[in-house]
Structure 1
Amino acid sequence: MFSIPGQAPVTITPAAERQISRLMTGKDAFGLKIGLKKGGCAGMEYTMDMVAEADRADEVIEQNGARVLIAPTAQMFLFGTEIDYETGLLESGFKFRNPNVTDACGCGESVSFKLDHETGETVPEA
C-alpha cells in the first residue's frame, strides 16, 4: 500500500465503523472490501463487497472492530481517503472523502483521477 509509516492509508469515521461492524456480524464476513472499476459518468466507480477472507495482496485496515480491505488495484487511488457512513431522510450509505479525486459526476456515484501517464500514480492537484 502507498502509505506513510505510522499513518493508516485510509481513515474510518465512528459512524462507518459501526456500520461496517454491523455488516460484518450480520453477514458473518471477514470485512468490507473496497475497490474501483471502470464505469459511470466520470470514469471510475467505487465497489464494495462483504468478503469471507482477505486476498494475499489486499491492504487490511482494522479500526475498533471494523475491518476494511482495499483491493490492490485501488490502493494508490484511495490513499488518504476518509470513509464515512451518513444517514439521511432520503438515503443512507457510505461516503468517500477522497483527496485524489479530480472530478465527480453530479450524483457522486463515479469519480475520476488525474494520473501521471509515465508512472501510473495519482498526481496531486496544484
Structure 2
Amino acid sequence: MAITMTEAAARHIKKQLDKRGRGRGIRLGVKTSGCSGMAYVLEFVDEQLESDTVFENFGVKVFIDPKSLVYMDGTELDFVKEGLNEGFQFNNPNVASECGCGESFNV
C-alpha cells in the first residue's frame, strides 16, 4: 500500500508548512460526503497518531489512517495550476465514478 505525491505537490506543501511555522506534514483521508459518497480530507499534522501509516515523498510526510488507506491505496497527490485556478488533484486508481462537480467520489 502506498500514497505518493508529485514534486509540485511537495513544494506547495513545504511552502504552506513554512508559512504556518509548524507541522510534521499533511494528513490525507476520506469522509462520507457529497452526492457520490466520499470526499477527500486534507489537513496539517502536528502530532502523529498511533494508527497512522506514514509515507514520505520529496521530504514531505503524508499521514493516513487505516480506514482511509483502503480507499486511497495507490493515490498520487498532485498540485496543478490551470490559468488562474490552482489546487490539489487526487489521482486515485480506486475511483469508480465522481460527481459532476468533482466534489465527491465512490469506489
Q: TM-score, normalised by structure 1?
A: 0.79
Structure 1 runs of 4+ off > 2 angstroms? Answer: none
- Once the two structures are TM-superposed, the CA of residue 71 in structure 1 deviates from its matched residue by 2.0
Out of 15, 22, 26, which is 1:22 matched to?
15
Figure out how many residues of one structure are paired with residues of the other and give that number.
Answer: 106
The superposition leaves residues 49-81 of structure 1 with CA deviations (integer Å, 9 ceiling, x where unpaired) of 112111111111112221111122201111111
Give the superposed CA RMSD.
1.1
Q: Given residue 106 of structure 1, which amino acid in structure 2 is its aligned partner?
A: G
Q: Extract unaligned runs of 5+ from structure 2.
A: none
Higher relative contact order (CA 8 A, sep 6+): 2
CA 1:90–1:40 in 2, change beyond 3 Å: closer, same or farther? farther
Identity of aligned residues (%): 39
Q: Does residue 100 of structure 1 match 2:98?
A: no
Out of 55, 80, 85, which is 2:49 matched to?
55
Is the Cα contact below 8 Å between 1:10 and 1:81 reproduced in 2? yes
**Counterpart residue number, 1:40:** 34
Q: TM-score, normalised by structure 2?
A: 0.92
Q: Extract unaligned runs of 5+ from structure 1.
A: 4-8, 114-126
**How far apart in 2 are the matches of 1:23 and 1:56?**
25
The superposition leaves residues 17-57 of structure 1 with CA deviations (integer Å, 9 ceiling, x where unpaired) of 10111122222111110111001111100001112111111
Is the Cα contact below 8 Å between 1:20 and 1:67 reproduced in 2? no
Q: Choose 1 or 2 for highest CA Rg.
A: 1
